[in-house]
Structure 1
Amino acid sequence: MFQGNTYPLGGGVQQTLAGERAERIPNSLEGYATAAMQANGVVFACMAVRMLVFSAVRFQFQAFNRGRPSVMFGGRELELLERPWRGGTTQDLLTQMIQDADLAGNSFWTEHDGELVRMRPDWVEIVLAPRRLRGGQLGWTRMGYRYTEGGTGSGAEPVILLPDEVAHFAPIPDPLATFRGMSWLTPVVREIQADGLMVQHKRRFFENGATPNMVVTGITAANQTEFDAIIDMLEANHAGVANAYRTLYLAAGADAKVVGADLKQIEFATVQGRGETRIAAAAGVHPVIVGLSEGLQGSSLNAGNYGQARRRFADGTMHPLWQNAAGSLEQLVAPPGPATRLWYDARDVPFLREDRKDAAEIQQTKAQTVRTYVDAGFTPESAVAAVAAEDDGLLVHTGLFSVQLQPANTQPALPAKAEGE
């Protein structure tokens, strides 16, 4: 029994209940893994950069002070994330999470016998039930998860898990679903296919002698057999990279003409580079960070431009992913108190060292501002609160002058003269 509904277990678990439906992951994990990640260098490079940076953080608990995030601290509860399974590390966990999310749009984890267990995304179904309100349906509510080893058609016994037993990481929501996520590869599938065709085109160009297409006319042959023999001879002596730039000899009346265009004439590098940039944009990675062709020319490599690209990748891609991952894993690692949360610690990430420098400069500026407020006669407590909240309305003045901090229109009393002076 759950919320007034009866759910059968055991052999009847695969039966569809009245009003229930299951959201299956529509993307093919196997298809994206083999045809995109393993077969396309641009996709692999983008995913590799995302994985390397995403897996560099560690998790901590963070306390709230007056409603704002404050100090971070550790705890024994974090051991599950620091050693998620025998021989595993936090980096292994995060690498698998972001890889599942990139390929399938979702990453599912649960805890069993003190270890985190990955559930292959395309073998998981999100079980939903209708929300009833005033006789009608108001959307769907998540009842749990159904995991079937090998997939729904494997015949294996499924495992039912409640929502609070699963950490569901889905950074990009699917607009056509309620709870499942969407892979960033989905919008650029055609770009990936086009990039593959460009690679194949380049390969064919070199396989056929590093020359455009050629038409030979006027070949004199008595019959089809003799014509085929001449064609076979030409292919054997002039097709392929090994025969590139060899001289072509033709009999009287025969003529060879070049048709089509070479790689330079069709601006091959430019056309391919545009597609690579669109794939990188979908991944949220600047081409200069990945090392793509369009990121390695012009002013992209200037120190200022590279710094801005790095900051865009960190602030616009990585930090939201880390926040989502921490919130998702909080289902399995409960914070120790009501005013705390599971959070990520990016202070030791090498990719963000420049950001740490900026943070130190900001902190120094805040300290100088607090000092200025206190010297001007405001209370230290209100000065700290105003700087933290960025609200000058929180300042409370002591009524004393700055520096001397004496009441207005008063002078310090002179010391009493000793008798006889």
Structure 2
Amino acid sequence: MKPNLLTRLFGGSVAAPEAKASRAGPLIALQGQGRAVWTSRDLASLAREGFMKNAIVYRAISMIAEAAASVPWLAYEGEAERPDHPLLALLSRPNGRQSGKAWLEALYGNLLVSGNAYAELVQLGGSPAELHALRPDRMKVVPGGDGWPEAYEYSVAGRTVRFPVEDGLSPILHLRLFHPLDDHYGFAPLEAAAIALDLHNAAGAWNKALLDNAARPSGALVYRGEGGANLSQEQFERLKRELEANYTGAVNAGRPLLLEGGLDWTSMALTPHDMDFIEAKNGAAREIALAFGVPPMLLGIPGDNTFANYAEANRVFWRQTILPLLGRTADALTNWLGPHFPGAIRLGFDVDAIEALSVERSALWSRVGAADFLSKDEKRQAVGYGAARPGDGEGEGDEGWTT
């Protein structure tokens, strides 16, 4: 008899598993089987305080999403490229309201803001017809008895739509960034940069408040009248009105303060120089850029740039940030959409279309072209192309190879 979960947890005879499955999965599912697993953070706050109020976050996410969405997809069946495959047509026009690039930008943007991205597959007559990007703050994962999602629930305005996972095929694609403490949701880069984000936003708010208050630090007017006498209520109110009318606001910046007898100005805050205001803000901006994998030079952040020039920083950005994102997305789309098409279809992306990597590509072609010990087909395979087709060149040597 196959043991149930309680037998495995609390003793008794344990038989070998009858199907290929994780033995730890039921332990994960035990804490919330059949119920939505809620995220522990406020995604709306991350989006509002980060993407919508911080120029560094906005530009970093926009750069990554736009760059990744600009790379063309390739479809392969075995080793043969299939440029006319219907999967490519679906990705180029996923739905009636979005182009392929717009859909991918939304998918990547959600992934970078929240650590999670969801897409819905709509089928017509059993064939894939449309793809839609869904907001991650509305989606909940429902784990099954094996610890894997058995359904996804999408809630809007008190109404919920349930997307069941049947026979291992899911109508929902869930992309997520690695989270060390969560089994079902990803970790947003903004969370890692939360302190830097707060510092950067606070620096901007402080600067704005400083300008609103005559561009000078806050302080106090101290009355040093004879005999320890205090200002009368009438004198206090008049002084307050004069300060608000004549010495606050941007139009009054730099205006000298005229004090009557017995009044003295005492500063109560650090000066911008004491706070090292500009460097603190730039340091926070560099930490935000680091969390997203964008070289600070590309965001116009001054400081300890470690790249010799803009082109070198751009190559690092593509190699270390964009290409890994494209790779994981291609694998996820292949596993999600591939079973709906005949044959062993596989998605890839056209690295040769990336202008920022043209220098590296030219250097590779030069090295391979100078390798006399390689045949023409071996050279083509070394640079990512298949064997030569009839008419591409004569023989098996270097004929027809150009750099």
Q: TM-score, normalised by structure 2?
A: 0.76
Taking a change above 3 Å as real, the CA distance of residues 329 and 122 of structure 1, as seen in their structure-2 partners, is same
Structure 2 CA distance, aligned partners of 1:341 and 1:222? 82
Taking a change above 3 Å as real, the CA distance of residues 130 and 176 of structure 1, as seen in their structure-2 partners, is farther
Query: Which shows bigger deviation, 222-231 or 270-279?
Result: 222-231
1:129 to 144, 155, 166: 144
Q: Residue type of the partner of 1:185? A: L
* Corresponding residue of 1:190: 195
* Corresponding residue of 2:320: 316
Question: Is the counterpart of residue 119 in structure 1 residue 134 in structure 2?
Answer: yes
Deviation at 1:280, TM superposition (A): 0.6
Deviation at 1:148, TM superposition (A): 2.9
Structure 2 CA distance, aligned partners of 1:83 and 1:94? 11
Deviation at 1:306, TM superposition (A): 2.4
2:110 to 81, 96, 100: 100
CA RMSD of aligned residues (A): 3.1
Deviation at 1:128, TM superposition (A): 2.2
Structure 2 CA distance, aligned partners of 1:202 and 1:368? 59
Query: Does the 8 Å contact 1:192/1:279 carry over to 2?
Result: yes
* Corresponding residue of 2:185: 180
Matches within 5 A, 1:155-174: 155-162=159-166, 163-174=168-179
Query: Does the 8 Å contact 2:36/2:153 carry over to 1?
Result: no
Query: Does the 8 Å contact 1:60/1:74 carry over to 2?
Result: no
The CA deviation string for residues 39-69 of structure 1, in whole angstroms up to 9 with x for no partner, is: 112211111111221211121113555xxxx
Question: Is the counterpart of residue 368 in structure 1 residue 370 in structure 2?
Answer: yes
* Corresponding residue of 2:72: 58
Query: Does the 8 Å contact 1:38/1:44 carry over to 2?
Result: yes
Question: Is the counterpart of residue 148 in structure 1 residue 154 in structure 2?
Answer: yes
SS state at 1:337 partner: coil
Taking a change above 3 Å as real, the CA distance of residues 186 and 244 of structure 1, as seen in their structure-2 partners, is same
Structure 2 CA distance, aligned partners of 1:329 and 1:37? 26
Q: Residue type of the partner of 1:360? A: S
Deviation at 1:184, TM superposition (A): 1.0
Computing the radius of gyration over CA atoms, which structure comes out larger, 1 or 2?
1
Structure 2 CA distance, aligned partners of 1:95 and 1:161? 26
* Corresponding residue of 1:89: 99
Deviation at 1:19, TM superposition (A): 4.6
Taking a change above 3 Å as real, the CA distance of residues 19 and 157 of structure 1, as seen in their structure-2 partners, is closer
Unaligned segments of structure 1, at least 5 residues: 5-15, 132-139, 375-379, 390-421
SS state at 1:116 partner: strand
Structure 1 CA distance, aligned partners of 2:262 and 2:131? 76
The CA deviation string for residues 363-385 of structure 1, in whole angstroms up to 9 with x for no partner, is: 2311221x2x26xxxxx499769
Structure 2 CA distance, aligned partners of 1:185 and 1:98? 14
* Corresponding residue of 1:396: none
Question: Is the counterpart of residue 208 in structure 1 residue 217 in structure 2?
Answer: no
Query: Does the 8 Å contact 2:73/2:88 carry over to 1?
Result: yes
1:343 to 342, 345, 348: 348
Structure 1 CA distance, aligned partners of 2:152 and 2:305? 51
Query: Does the 8 Å contact 1:126/1:146 carry over to 2?
Result: yes
The CA deviation string for residues 44-96 of structure 1, in whole angstroms up to 9 with x for no partner, is: 1111111221211121113555xxxx756341232111110014211011101
Structure 1 CA distance, aligned partners of 2:104 and 2:33? 36
1:239 to 242, 248, 255: 248
Taking a change above 3 Å as real, the CA distance of residues 313 and 169 of structure 1, as seen in their structure-2 partners, is farther
Unaligned segments of structure 2, at least 5 residues: 1-17, 19-29, 385-403
The CA deviation string for residues 329-373 of structure 1, in whole angstroms up to 9 with x for no partner, is: 2212456533x511122433xxx324123213212311221x2x2
Matches within 5 A, 1:199-348: 199-218=204-223, 223-294=232-303, 304-330=308-334, 331-334=336-339, 337-338=343-344, 340-348=345-353
Aligned identity (percent) is 19
Q: Residue type of the partner of 1:247? A: P
SS state at 2:272 partner: coil
Query: Does the 8 Å contact 2:47/2:113 carry over to 1?
Result: yes
Structure 2 CA distance, aligned partners of 1:169 and 1:317? 20
Q: Residue type of the partner of 2:95? A: W
